[in-house]
Structure 1
Amino acid sequence: MVPPLEGLTPNPQKLAKTYSVSLACKVVGVSSRQLYYWESLGIVNPVYVEFGSYSYRRYSQEDIHLLRRIKNFMDEGYTLRAAAQKVTGRDFNGRNGGPQVANGG
């Protein structure tokens, strides 16, 4: 077995505290399409973990908590933007912030 190259394998301790897209969707109760849309509005900014030539979104426990609160307000009848504003105190009329990139290792 060939050992992985240094810098290409994400730090397992950091990844253990984060959620993949599929797990985040399951926990929050939204589709991946919804999650990507929320990201495009700047509601959530996951960390991008690079692995070789690929990068993967990872959501922190704080991200999940925020997303669940927003989803709960939406289930009560709030629009996405109104729910996000209620939870964060920010206005979401477009993309805020950008992706965070974390190198593995």
Structure 2
Amino acid sequence: MFFCPQIQFTEDISMTIPSKTTFSIGDTAKMSGASQKQIRHWEAKGYIPEAIRVVSGDRAYRRFTLGQVEAIGKIKAYLDEGYTLSAAAQKVNGTDISKKEGRNHA
């Protein structure tokens, strides 16, 4: 189980939201606790996988999978604990680093 400030994820969240397979950046931000600006930045820098782009007219909209929403929420939680963005992303992606290396020290 994974806890985000706004939502608690369980392994069977698909039963809670059966009709949703992807989420807008606004919904992703609400569920993960990260801002839309943070999500765009993390995506641009490669800390999270690129969102699916859905074209509508002249615009392309980001759509995130549930796995991406969970990863974004975990990164945000690690940042709130004092990890750097790089260290938080490495932890979420399974790279083992020590907390000492990954924490911001003022």
Q: Give the TM-score band, short-chain normalised.
A: 0.5 to 0.7
Asked whether 1:26 is paired with 2:38, we answer no
After TM superposition, what 4+ stretches of structure 1 lie above 3 angstroms from structure 2? none
Matched, 1:36 2:40: yes
Bigger relative contact order (CA 8 A; separation at least 6) = 1
Which amino acid in the other structure matches residue 20 of structure 1? S
Amino acid at match of 2:35: S
Residues 53 and 63 in structure 2, CA contact (< 8 A), matched pair in contact too: yes
Query: 2:68 aligned to 63, 72, 75, which one?
Result: 63
Match of 1:74 among 79, 97, 100: 79
1:45-102 deviation line (CA, Å, top 9, x unaligned): 1000011221100000010111111111111110111100111146xxxxxxxxxxxx
Q: Deviations over 1:12-32 (max 9, x none)?
A: xxx831110111111111211
Q: What is the letter of the counterpart of residue 78 of structure 1?
A: Y
Structure 2: runs of 5 or more not aligned: 1-18, 96-106
Aligned residue pair count? 76
The CA distance in 1 between the partners of 2:77 and 2:59, in whole Å, is 33
Equivalent residue, structure 2, for 1:96: none
1:48 counterpart residue number: 53
Q: Is the 8 A contact 2:34 2:72 kept in 1?
A: no
Alignment of 1:8-23 (within 5 A): 16-23=20-27
Gaps of 5+ in 1: 1-14, 91-105
TM-score (norm 1): 0.66
CA RMSD of aligned residues (A): 1.6
